[in-house]
Amino acid sequence: MKLSKKQARLRRATKFRAKHAEKGVERLCVHKTSQHIYAQIISACGTKTIASASTMVAKVKNGGNIDAATEIGSEIAKAAKKAKITKVAFDRSGFKYHGRVKALADAARDGGLEF
Per residue in 17-68, pLDDT tens? Answer: 777 666 778 989 999 999 999 999 998 888 899 999 999 988 888 999 999 9
What is d(CA 35, CA 81) in angstroms, rounded to the nearest whole number?
A: 27
User: CATH class for domain 29-110?
Assistant: alpha beta
Model pTM above 0.95? no
In this structure, are residues 94 and 13 in contact, taking their beta carbons and an 8 Å threshold? Answer: yes
pLDDT at residue 14 tops 90:
no
